[in-house]
Structure 1
Amino acid sequence: MFATLFKNQRFQELMLSLDEIKKPIAAELDTFEGKFKSSMQSSVPLLDRITHYIVKRKGKQIRPMFVFFSASLCGGITEATHRGAALVELLHTATLVHDDVVDNSYQRRGFFSVNALWKNKIAVLVGDFLLSKGLLLSINNGDFGLLRLVSDAVKQMSEGELLQIEKARRLDIDEKVYYEVIRQKTASLIASCCACGASSAGANEDTVEKMRLFGEKVGIAFQIKDDLFDFGTDDIGKPLGIDIKEKKITLPLIYALNKSGSSEKKRVINLVKNHNEEAEKVSEIIDFVRNSGGMDYARSQMEMYQNEAFAILNEFPEHESRRALEQLVRFTTERKK
C-alpha cells in the first residue's frame, strides 16, 4: 500500500515537474509555438481550420524540448533550432494523421482524429500538406543537414511499422527483431530531435552522432515503458491489452514466451492469434506474462537503456541543459500514461 502511494505521489511530482523542466527554455518554446503555427498556414480555409484544430490539441511539447535542450547543451539555441523543431513536428504530425487513417482510428489524445471529423481522403491530403510544408521550410532556409536527419527518421518509422506488420502476421518476433522494430518505429524520432538540436547549434559530426545515440536510447526506453502500460502495474493502473488485441508481440510477452515450455508457448500464441478479441482470453495472456516475470524483465531492460542514455549525457560538461535532459528522460520513463 505504501509503495503504491509513493509511486502515485512520485507520478504527481513528475507531472508537476514538467513545467519546472521547461522553465529554462519557456520563452523559446512560446516563440516556437507561434512560428510552428505560422509554418502550417495555408490560403485554403479548410486547411487552416484543420491545422488550427491540430495545433489546439498538441501534446506536452516533449519533442521540441529535446530539440531545444540538445541545442542548448551543444552550443546554443539558434533560428535553425526553431526550424529544426518545427520540421520534426510537421513531419511527425503528418505521420500521425496518416497513421490514424491506416489504423481506422477515430481518436487522438482523447479527441476526434482528423479522419473522424473530415474523412480519410481529406486526412491523407492534410498529411501530405504537412509533409510538404516541412520539406519547404528546410529547403527554403538551406537546412539540408536537418532535413536529412528528420527524413531518415521518417523513413525508419515507415520501415519499422511495416516490419512489425510483417512479423505480426506470423507471430515469429524475437528480441532481436523487437528491438529493431522499436529502434526504427519509435526511437528514431527522438534520436532525430536530439541530433537536430545539436546540428542546429553548430556541433561537429561526432557530437551530433553522440546526441543521436542518446536520443535513440531514450526512445527505446520510452517504448518499453509503453509496452508495460498494456499489462498494467500498481502505478500504471488497469491493464489495457491493446497491443494483444492488435497482435503486437512486445517485450514482456516475448520474455514470457521464451521462458515457457513448448506446449504452453503454442497455447499462448494461439490465444494471441485467434482469441485476441475475447476479454477473458486477453486477461489470461496478461496473467501469463505477469506470472512469468515478463514485467520485471521489461522494466530492467528499460532501466538499462535509461542508464546508457545517462552515461552518454555524462560525457558532456556540467550544464543546466544537461540536468534538464536528465529530468526529461526520467519523465518519459516514469510517466503514468
Structure 2
Amino acid sequence: MQLARETISSELQRFEEIFHNAMQSDVLLLNRIMEDIAAHKGKQMRPMFVLLCARLCGEINDASYRAALLVEMLHTASLVHDDMVDDAMKRRSAFSVNALWKNRVSVMVGDQLFTKGVLLALDNNDPGLLKIYAAAIQQMVEGELLQMTRANKLSFEEKDYYDLINAKTASFLAAACAAGASSVGDNPETIQLLHDFGQKVGMAFQLKDDLFDYGKTDVGKPTGNDIKEKKVTLPLIYTVQHADPVLRKKILHIVRHQHTDKDKVNFVVDAVNNSGGLEYATQKMMAFRDEAFQLLFTFPPSPTRSALEELVRYTTDRAY
C-alpha cells in the first residue's frame, strides 16, 4: 500500500489527528479504552478508500475527512461488538475490549462509537453521508443475523454465500467509496459507480479472507476456524458440490456434527485443498477484482487512480 499512502500522505496525517481527537472523552474509563483502541488500530484501509475516492472525483475537503472518520468509527464499533459476540480474547495481537473490560463495557463502547459517528454527521449537516453508512450498517446486521439462522441449516449454494459476504463485508467498503465520492460532488452516477467499485473490492477482500482459512500460511489464526464455527465459504462449497457421494456425506457430517474435533476438521481442510476448491475460489476472487478494475478504469489515468489500483491489488495479494 506504499503508493496509496504516498499519494495521500499529508491527508492521512491530518486524518490521524482528527481520529485521535475524536476518540477523546471526559469519562476516564472511556478515554482509557479509546486510547487503547487507537493504539492498536488496523491498516485503516477504509479511510484510505474514502480519501482516494474523494481525490479521484475532486478535492479532498472537510466532508471527506468526516466521511473517513465516520467509516473508521463505525467499523471500530462493529469490531468491538463482534469480539463480544464471539467472546474473542484478542484483536490485532492485543487484548480485546471484551477480554479486558467484559461484555457490559464492550456494549457501551460500541454504542458510544456509533453515537459519536451519528452526531458527527448530524452536527455537520451530512444527511447524505449518514444515509449511505446507515444503509450499509443495516445490511451488515441483516447479514450477521442471516448467518446465525443458517448455522443449523447450512447452505452450500454459491448464491447464498455471495449474498452473505455482500451484506457482511462488501456493503461497508462500497459505502466507504460512495461516501468519498459524495463528499466532493453530488453526481448520482459517479457515486453509484464508486459504490459498485467498492462492492466488487469488498467481495474480493472477503474471498481472500476465506481462502486463508484453508491455506498453509500462518496468518495469525488457526486453519479450519471457519469450519469450527460452521461457516460455509466458497472453497468448501466447491468441494462439497464436486465430491463423490461418499466423500460429500462425510464432509457434511463433520461440518454439521463434528466441527469441534480437530482431526475431523483437518480432514475437511485437506479435502478442500485436494479438490481444487482453493483454485476455484481464487478464480472467483480475481474475477471480482477485475470487475472492480473495469469500473475504476472508466476514470482517466492519474496518480490517484494508480493508488486505488494498488490498494485493490493489495486486497487480493496480501499475505494476511
Deviates more, 1:18-27 or 1:287-296: 18-27
Partner of 2:312: 329
After superposition, residues 57-96 of structure 1 pair within 5 angstroms as 57-96=40-79
Following superposition, the deviation at residue 236 of structure 1 comes to 7.0
The alignment's C-alpha RMSD in Å is 1.5
List, as ranges, runs of 4+ consecutive aligned residues in structure 1 with deviation greater than 3 Å. 233-239
Q: Which of 122, 125, 130 lines up with 2:108 in the alignment? A: 125
Q: Which amino acid aligns with 2:83?
A: D
CA contact 1:167–1:173 (8 Å) conserved in 2: no
Distance 1:33 1:237 in 2: 26
Asked if 1:107 corresponds to 2:90, the answer is yes
How many residue pairs are counted as aligned between the two chains?
320
Are positions 1:252 and 2:265 aligned together? no
CA contact (8 A) 1:233 1:239 kept: no
CA distance in 1, matches of 2:219, 2:116: 38
Give the drift of 1:233: 4.5
1:80 Cα deviation after fit: 0.2
Once residues 304 and 232 of structure 1 are traced to their aligned partners in structure 2, the CA distance between those partners, rounded to angstroms, is: 20
Residue 187 of structure 1 deviates from its aligned partner by 0.4
Are 2:178 and 2:192, in contact at CA under 8 Å, matched by a contact in 1? yes
Distance change (3 Å), C-alpha of 1:177 and 1:125? same
For the Cα contact (< 8 Å) 1:67–1:194, is it kept in 2? yes
Alignment of 1:27-46 (within 5 A): 27-46=10-29
Q: Taking structure 1 as reference, are residues 150 and 294 closer, same or farther at Cα in structure 2, changes over 3 Å only?
A: same
1:14 match: none
Cα distance, 1:46–1:238 mapped onto 2, change above 3 Å: closer
Residue equivalent to 1:20: 3
Range 232-241 or range 116-125, more displaced = 232-241
Contact 1:171-1:269 at 8 Å conserved across structures: no
Residues 30 and 237 of structure 1, relative CA distance in 2, 3 Å threshold = closer
Corresponding residue SS for 2:151:
helix
- What is the distance in 1 between the residues matched to 2:78 and 2:53? 23
Q: Deviation of residue 261 (structure 1)?
A: 3.0
* Residue in structure 2 matched with residue 204 of structure 1 by the alignment: 187
Q: Percent identity?
A: 51
Counterparts of 1:31 and 1:116 in 2: how far apart (Å)?
31
Q: Displacement of 1:292 after TM fit?
A: 1.2
Q: For residues 18-50 of structure 1, give each alpha carbon's deviation from its aligned partner in whole angstroms, at most 9, with x where no partner exists.
A: 233201111111111111122222221111111
| Pairing 1:41-60 to 2, within 5 Å after superposition | 41-60=24-43
- Matching residue's letter, 2:312: V
Query: Deviation at 1:119?
Result: 1.1
Amino acid of the residue matched to residue 41 of structure 1?
Q
Correspondence 1:308 to 2:291: yes
CA contact (8 A) 2:224 2:269 kept: yes
Question: Is the CA contact 1:243–1:249 (under 8 Å) kept in the aligned structure 2?
Answer: yes
| Secondary structure class of the residue paired with 1:168 | coil
TM-score by length of 2: 0.97
Q: Is the 8 A contact 2:54 2:181 kept in 1?
A: yes
Q: What's 2:144 paired with? A: 161
Structure 2 segments unaligned to the other structure (5+ residues): none
CA distance in 2, matches of 1:278, 1:287: 14
CA distance in 2, matches of 1:73, 1:285: 44
Give 5+ residue unaligned stretches, structure 1. 1-17
C-alpha distance in structure 2 between counterparts of 1:281 and 1:216, whole Å = 35
